[in-house]
Structure formats: structure tokens, C-alpha cells
């Protein structure tokens, strides 16, 4: 028991020092000592150990405050990379970051659904690693839509990718690359990405809404990602907004996702054109209606197309109902709009904003700040890298295969 407690306290001290440097950047021993409350000798000892392991390195000397210039310690970007993969319905995006969280490369491929889904993700990762010529990978985080079991890195059910069931995604990818693999819902991964790299750094309470081919919600409360009792928190796309609407992949009718997602917007435009409704969108896709996407509809609406405008207005009304529900429920400080549909900007936001004033309660609406993500299409993949990075900076640490830098424990 005494040995176990010593190990716990040692890991806690290590965690405190490492995370201070992670958040504050190059720091001296006195700075770390003052911030953590640890004894100077303890801080010095921990930093030496982290230096030996390759997690931190000594930087140039800091500015003098009257005595000798202090040595500064920073995270060593050469320690290894974390890879994040966002498997979307149309594209799979992989990115790599070093332990300082600096983006060092990315790769995008078209998503292959069904049995070849994992094979396609593996190929995307391999292309990224080949391009970067980096062999030391700390782990892989994967983000995708579906009913997931993050603890077992298991895809329980994902109808969007060919009705996948009980797919051991983590096991397969882990065996291929020989590193830990972590799995998370794509909307929650986006929230993690915003928390680490984006607007979420400014607040401990925010919601991240994924407006894309599907619709999802990432919830951060008191700085922590909320997953729910069975990892199902944030299924905003499956709030019923039109009981008499089309059937959703979940089996229900009139879900927000089937009424106002990117796929829904594209489908409504295709159906209208097939029925002979006049629209510039027909010329935009040269008569190939299957090529109409939500982006096509937004561009046409912006140019004044009547059909496109009507479709966007209706979708915005449904989206406002969904957003009003989360505003009334959570009373958040910030809502971050992300995903491909959010990239349409004012053409989708202006009608949503008008209807929010009708559907949301005045008090919580007056306090919330609604912004667009600045991280673009790689947000989900960036968020997936944090699944790896956060393990490095937890008290338990991340156990890697023994190598020239030793083992992190």
C-alpha cells in the first residue's frame, strides 16, 4: 500500500509539472514551483526525469530578473506524434500533431463504406505517415458517427457506413500500427478539438454543434466532456421536430437530422428538381441531380434561387428548434457551429438567428455567444488527436513500447 501511494503521488507531481508546461509554454523551475506548490527540489527532479524520457527539453535561457538567467523547459516536439482520424460519410481526414499540439501534416481521402471502412482509414493513415516520414507514433484517435463503445474501441452500430455492427475498430487498427487506439463520437471529438485548439479554450462551458451530413452535439461542462450514462449524450440529430416527417436511420420519424442535415437539404433539392421545379441548381450540376449537395443548395440560395432559398429557410427553422432546445436546457456560455453546413456562413445562419428569437427563451438566449468554428474541416480529426495527447498528460500516463526513450509510466 505504501509503495502504491508513493507511485500515485509521484505520478500526480509529474502530471502537475507536465501540464503546467503544456499550458504555459517554456517555463523555469521557479515558475513551475510557484504555480504547482511543489518543492523546488521535487520540480527539478521531475524535470530531469522528463528530460531523460524526451518529453521535455531545455530551451534557451530566459530573461534575468537580477541574478543568473534561468533555464527554461518546454515540451519536446520530437518526442512523437499523435494521429487523429475523422471518418466522415464522404471523406476521411487524418492529421498529425506533435505533443505541443502543433499541426505537422494532414491527409484526406474519399471514405469507403461497408466492409472496407477500416481498410480505407488505415490507408489514409499510411499515406499520412509516408508523407511525413515519421515512425514514432504515440497513438491514434478515431472519430466517427454511430453507437460506439469507447472503452472497448468498438463500433456497436453505425447505419451510415453500411450498417456496421460490433466492429472491433480499435483492435484492428491497433494491431496494424502497434500503438494504442482511442475511439470517440465525431461530434464529441469536435468539442475536444475546440477545447484544445479553438474557441473552447476561452470557456469551461460550451456546446459544439456538428452541422454536416449528420447533426450531432458535443457537450463540455466545467471543462469536462459529457458522454452520458451509455456514451449517447449529444444525439441532437435525433430530436423529433416533425413527427409526420420521413423515416430516419434510427427508426424514428421526423428527426432533426432527416429534416435539416446536409444530406436532407440535398435530398429535398433533388426531389424537387425531379418533380420538375425550376431552379438554377439543374444547370449548376449540368443536369446530374445526384451531384447536388448542401453546398450546391447554399450557393444557389445565396445567388437568389427561389427553390434553394425555400429549402434553406425550412431547414433553418428546424435547426433553430433544435438549437433553442439545447439553449433552454444547458444555458451555455458559448455555442460553436461546426461541420460542412456551418461553412455556408450567413446564408444558413441568418435565418437560424431570426427563428432562434422565436423559439428560445429570452434569458438564456441573451447570455449565449454563438460563433463559427475557425478550425474548418479538420476539426474532428484534431479533436481525435486529443484522445492521444490527453493520455500523455494524465496521471496514469501513456505506456508505450520500450524504445530508446524508455517507457512512460
| Tens-place pLDDT, residues 24-62 | 999 999 999 999 889 899 999 999 999 999 999 998 665
Position 76 scores a pLDDT of: 93
Higher pLDDT pick, 7 / 118: 118
Q: 89-148 pLDDT, tens per residue?
A: 999 999 999 999 999 999 999 998 888 899 999 999 999 999 998 768 999 999 999 999
Mean pLDDT across 192-207: 94
* pLDDT band at residue 63 under the 50/70/90 scheme: low
Whether the per-residue pLDDT at 399 is higher than 80: the answer is no
Q: Are residues 92 and 169 in the same domain?
A: yes
Say which residues have a Cβ less than 8 Å from residue 404's Cβ, sequence separation at least 6.
none
- Domain boundary (22, 56, 75) is at 75
Grid cell digits, residue 388: 492521444
In a domain, residue 403? The reply is no
Tell whether 268 and 351 lie within a shared domain. Answer: yes
Do 11 and 141 lie in one domain? The reply is: no
Shared domain check, 154 and 126: yes
Judge whether residue 407 has pLDDT over 70. no
Helices assigned H by DSSP within 159-305: 169-177, 186-197, 256-260, 262-274, 281-284, 294-302
Q: Residue 101 is part of a domain; what is its CATH number? A: 3.30.420.40
Are the C-beta atoms of 114 and 161 separated by less than 8 Å? yes
User: Domain range for residue 182?
Assistant: 79-192+379-392
* Percent of the chain surpassing pLDDT 90: 75
* Nearest alpha carbon to residue 358 among 309, 317, 310, 313: 317
- pLDDT at residue 154 tops 50: yes
Same domain, 67 and 211: no
What pLDDT, on the 0 to 100 scale, is given for residue 346? 86
Sheet holding 369-372, edge to edge: 224-226, 215-221, 206-211, 334-338, 369-372
Residue 65 has pLDDT above 70, yes or no: no
The mean predicted confidence, pLDDT, of the chain is 90
- Confidence band of 405 (pLDDT split at 50, 70, 90): very low
The CATH number that applies at residue 10 is 1.10.10.10
* Same domain membership, residue 212 and residue 361: yes
- Residue 187 and residue 89 share a domain: yes
Count: domains in the chain? 3
Mean of pLDDT values over 146-167? 90
Q: For the whole model, what pTM was predicted?
A: 0.89
At residue 347, what are phi and psi to the nearest 5 degrees? -65, -30
Q: How confident is the model at residue 401 (pLDDT cuts 50, 70, 90)?
A: very low
The model's pLDDT over 321-342, given as tens digits with 9 standing for 90+, comes to: 999 999 999 999 999 999 988 8
pLDDT at 390: 92
222 with 369, same domain: the answer is yes
Mean pLDDT of 375-387: 96
Q: Which helix (H) or strand (E) covers residue 34, if one does?
A: helix 29-36
Examine the domain organization and report whether 181 and 62 are in the same domain.
Answer: no
87 and 9 inside one domain: no
Instruction: Find the mean pLDDT for residues 387-408.
Output: 61
**Res 406 pLDDT > 60:** no
Does some domain include residue 400? no
Question: Does residue 405 fall inside a structural domain?
Answer: no
Last residue of a domain, one of 29, 58, 75: 75
- Same-domain pairing of 136 and 208: no
Residue at a domain's end among 53, 75, 97: 75
The answer to whether 209 and 356 have CB atoms below 8 angstroms apart is no
Same domain for 114 and 129?
A: yes
Amino acid at each position: 500500500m505504501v509503495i502504491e501511494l508513493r507511485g500515485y503521488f509521484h505520478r500526480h507531481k509529474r502530471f502537475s509539472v507536465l501540464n503546467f508546461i503544456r499550458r504555459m509554454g517554456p517555463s523555469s523551475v521557479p515558475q513551475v514551483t510557484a504555480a504547482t506548490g511543489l518543492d523546488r527540489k521535487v520540480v527539478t527532479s521531475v524535470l530531469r526525469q522528463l528530460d531523460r524520457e524526451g518529453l521535455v527539453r531545455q530551451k534557451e535561457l530566459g530573461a534575468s530578473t537580477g541574478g543568473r538567467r534561468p533555464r527554461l523547459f518546454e515540451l519536446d516536439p520530437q518526442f512523437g506524434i499523435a494521429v487523429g482520424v475523422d471518418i466522415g460519410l464522404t471523406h476521411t481526414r487524418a492529421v498529425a500533431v506533435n505533443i505541443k499540439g502543433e499541426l505537422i501534416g494532414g491527409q484526406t481521402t474519399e471514405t469507403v463504406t461497408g466492409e472496407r471502412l477500416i481498410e480505407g482509414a488505415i490507408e489514409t493513415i499510411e499515406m499520412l505517415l509516408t508523407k511525413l516520414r515519421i515512425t514514432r507514433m504515440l497513438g491514434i484517435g478515431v472519430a466517427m458517427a454511430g453507437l460506439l463503445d469507447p472503452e472497448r474501441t468498438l463500433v456497436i452500430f453505425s447505419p451510415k457506413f453500411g450498417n456496421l455492427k460490433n466492429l472491433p475498430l480499435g483492435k484492428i487498427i491497433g494491431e496494424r500500427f502497434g500503438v494504442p487506439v482511442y475511439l470517440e463520437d465525431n461530434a464529441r471529438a469536435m468539442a475536444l478539438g475546440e477545447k484544445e485548439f479553438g474557441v473552447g479554450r476561452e470557456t469551461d462551458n460550451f456546446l459544439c454543434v456538428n452541422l454536416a451530413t449528420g447533426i450531432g452535439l458535443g457537450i463540455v461542462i466545467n471543462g469536462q466532456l459529457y458522454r452520458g450514462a451509455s456514451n449517447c449524450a449529444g444525439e441532437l440529430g435525433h430530436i423529433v421536430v416533425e413527427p409526420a416527417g420521413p423515416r430516419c436511420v434510427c427508426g424514428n420519424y421526423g428527426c432533426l437530422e432527416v429534416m435539416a442535415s446536409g444530406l436532407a437539404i440535398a435530398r429535398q433539392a433533388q426531389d424537387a428538381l425531379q418533380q420538375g421545379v425550376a431552379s438554377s441548381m439543374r444547370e449548376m450540376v449540368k443536369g446530374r441531380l445526384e451531384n447536388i449537395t448542401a453546398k450546391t443548395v447554399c450557393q444557389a440560395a445565396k445567388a437568389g434561387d427561389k427553390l434553394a432559398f425555400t429549402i434553406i429557410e425550412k431547414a433553418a427553422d428546424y435547426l433553430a428548434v433544435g438549437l433553442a432546445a439545447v439553449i433552454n436546457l444547458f444555458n451555455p456560455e458559448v455555442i460553436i457551429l461546426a461541420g460542412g453546413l456551418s461553412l455556408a456562413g450567413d446564408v444558413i445562419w441568418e435565418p437560424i438567428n431570426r427563428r432562434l428569437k422565436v423559439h428560445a427563451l429570452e434569458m438564456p438566449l441573451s447570455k449565449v455567444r454563438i460563433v463559427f468554428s475557425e478550425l474548418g474541416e479538420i476539426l474532428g480529426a484534431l479533436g481525435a488527436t486529443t484522445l492521444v495527447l490527453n493520455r500523455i498528460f494524465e496521471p496514469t500516463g501513456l505506456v508505450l513500447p520500450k524504445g530508446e526513450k524508455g517507457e512512460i509510466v
